[in-house]
A and B are shown apart, each in its own frame.
Chain A
Amino acid sequence: GAVVSQHPSWVICKSGTSVKIECRSLDFQATTMFWYRQFPKQSLMLMATSNEGSKATYEQGVEKDKFLINHASLTLSTLTVTSAHPEDSSFYICSADTSGESYEQYFGPGTRLTVT
């Protein structure tokens, strides 16, 4: 149980285009989903917290107009990187909270984004 999927697993796009990443909880309903960014050999950096049916809460320094998050249902959250630039190239990982207290988060396999 507690499986989270992400799609796509990797994507290459040209500078200036937008990319959408999907995060789905496959066997449970997730009230809260989280989006992280991870650079090579570094830890996870929380970008935003997403609650179903409401606006996402962004961490300080994360541009909400650039990283659009939509949590349309209890099993799906999407992250859209708008007008992507090479510095947006990174590993994006989502997680879903099963506990309601954020301590039992299950992570997706991640999406590697390369912007050329």
Chain B
Amino acid sequence: QKEVEQDPGPLSVPEGAIVSLNCTYSNSAFQYFMWYRQYSRKGPELLMYTYSSGNKEDGRFTAQVDKSSKYISLFIRDSQPSDSATYLCAMNRGAQKLVFGQGTRLTINP
């Protein structure tokens, strides 16, 4: 079993829709949870990171962590075509290497 599971998609939604991206994990020691956005042939861009459980909001993006369920989510409100990319979740225990999900390919259709 992989430490981090993420549905690779592809996920296609119309412009303006709310997008929900999710990851599950098995290691209860993970404390830091990150979301990265990666455009084709580019390096990943850090969107948000969250420590432990709870919500964090940044503009149209909201990250949620539920440690009891070992489940994290990223919500994108008012999605735009420019949000089309691959979204990678990542997590670690602090001072440890990041463990990445497989990435979800997202397309926002105008």
> Which A residues contact B (CB, under 8 angstroms)?
4, 6, 34, 41-44, 46, 49, 59, 91, 93, 95, 100-110, 112
Contact = CB atoms under 8 A, between A and B. Distances in A.
Contacts, number: 60
Interface in B80-96: 88, 92, 94-96
26 contacts: A4-B43, A6-B43, A34-B98, A41-B8, A43-B102, A43-B103, A46-B98, A59-B97, A91-B41, A101-B95, A102-B94, A102-B98, A103-B51, A103-B94, A103-B98, A104-B49, A105-B34, A105-B46, A105-B98, A106-B46, A107-B36, A107-B44, A107-B46, A109-B43, A110-B42, A110-B43
Contact of B46 (A6, A42, A101, A104): A104
Contacts of A112: 41
B44 A102 contact: no
Contact of A43 (B92, B96, B97, B100): B100
